[in-house]
């Protein structure tokens, strides 16, 4: 097992922590090290005490993440306690740290009467994850509204960047730097309109069309250009199909749900089956949104 150089005074450190406790699929083997910092100072100390070759995995709500059954050989950093600040300046600027839920951003922007932020209500994760993958819902995408971001490197040094410093596309954000998002400043347009009804309508649509309340990662695949992953999966006859405890949702074919006893291997096998079937039936490539990490059992 890899280790920290010293951990005596870091209360948030756990060893062999089951990641099934920290992913929305409720699946995942143990992480060698799991750390939940109380503030940025603790995070900086933790990063500086890590072995240089220890892999890092940053986790918010654990949506869009599949940890294999053998677990993660490295350190997991949970963002939702140390990075929970959400503020605004009354002029459409919103500062949100990585651990803030996207739902909270949407709710508060409605209260502050900022237009076009309601799409965040459809993203089942945190700001950090939304930044990392340019998450979107209901026609909106995260980086459409980013003014600047803050990142941290392995030494705990925080830097500020502009959108032009990244390669950004549909469900894709890339950089040559090995750094992680810790906050962003968003820019929204102010309005005098009543917005609460818009977000309520979107949440009703989401509840009617998606398996809300069941363990899933959100959407499994990106929508291919000019089409929808869910339509292709359903047309391939896979809606409701199961491998072990993993099932293509009977409600929305781009969701895979844990029916109670699914393993990561079940989910990964079902993802592969869907990709192979859609390719065979329609000659279309489905690209997973979900990030798969860790070791096979």
Q: Percent of the chain at pLDDT above 70? A: 97
pLDDT of residue 31: 97
Q: Tell me what the mean pLDDT of segment 181-210 comes to.
A: 88
Whether 52 shows a pLDDT value over 90: the answer reads no
Q: Indicate the CATH number of 214-293 among 3.90.78.10, 3.40.50.261, 2.60.40.10, 3.30.460.20.
A: 3.90.78.10
The alpha carbon dihedral of 211, 125, 144, 291 has a sign of: negative
- Say how far residue 94 (Cα) sits from the centre of its chain: 20
Q: Among residues 17, 141, 198, 289, which one is catalytic?
A: 289
Which one-letter DSSP state was computed for residue 170? Answer: T
Annotated catalytic residue within 141, 150, 171, 268? 171
pTM recorded for the entire structure: 0.93
Third-level CATH fold of 13-78 = 3.30.43
* Class (C level, CATH) for 86-187: alpha beta
Q: What pLDDT, on a 0 to 100 scale, did the predictor assign at position 182?
A: 97
Q: Where are the domains of the chain?
A: 13-78, 86-187, 214-293
The first and second tokens of residue 140, run together, are: 């909106």
291 is catalytic: no
Q: Which of the four pLDDT bands, split at 50, 70 and 90, describes residue 8?
A: very low
pLDDT at 209 over 60: yes
Check 63, 219, 249, 263 and give the catalytic one: 219
Are the folds of 13-78 and 86-187 the same? no
Sequential DSSP letters for 86-128: EEE-SSSEEEEETTSBHHHHHHHHHHTTBTT-GGGGG--SBHH
């Amino acid at each position: 097992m890899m280790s920290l150089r010293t951990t005596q005074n870091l209360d948030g450190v756990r060893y062999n922590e089951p990641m099934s406790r920290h992913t929305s699929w409720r699946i995942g083997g143990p992480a060698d090290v799991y750390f939940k910092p109380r503030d940025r100072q603790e995070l900086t100390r933790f990063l500086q005490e890590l072995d240089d070759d220890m892999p890092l995995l940053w986790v918010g709500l654990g949506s869009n993440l599949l940890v294999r059954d053998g677990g993660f050989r490295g350190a997991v950093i949970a963002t939702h306690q140390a990075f929970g600040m959400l503020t605004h300046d009354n002029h459409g600027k919103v500062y949100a740290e990585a651990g803030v839920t996207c739902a909270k951003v949407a709710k508060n922007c409605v209260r502050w009467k900022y237009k076009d932020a309601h799409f965040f209500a459809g993203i089942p994760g945190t700001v950090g994850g939304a930044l990392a993958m340019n998450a979107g819902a209901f026609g909106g995408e995260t980086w459409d509204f980013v003014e600047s971001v803050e990142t941290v490197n392995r030494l705990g040094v925080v830097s500020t960047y502009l959108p032009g410093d990244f390669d950004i596309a549909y469900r894709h954000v890339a950089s040559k730097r090995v750094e992680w998002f810790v906050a962003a400043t968003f820019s929204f347009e102010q309005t005098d309109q009543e917005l609460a009804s818009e977000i309520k309508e979107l949440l009703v649509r989401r509840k009617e069309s998606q398996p809300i309340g069941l363990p899933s990662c959100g959407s499994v695949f990106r929508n291919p250009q000019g089409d929808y992953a869910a339509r292709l999966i359903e047309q391939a006859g896979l809606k409701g199909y199961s491998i072990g405890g993993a099932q293509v949702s009977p409600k929305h074919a781009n969701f895979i749900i844990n029916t109670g006893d699914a393993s990561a291997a079940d989910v990964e096998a079902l993802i592969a089956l869907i990709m192979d079937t859609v390719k065979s039936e329609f000659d279309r490539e489905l690209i997973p949104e979900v990030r798969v990490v860790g070791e096979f059992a």
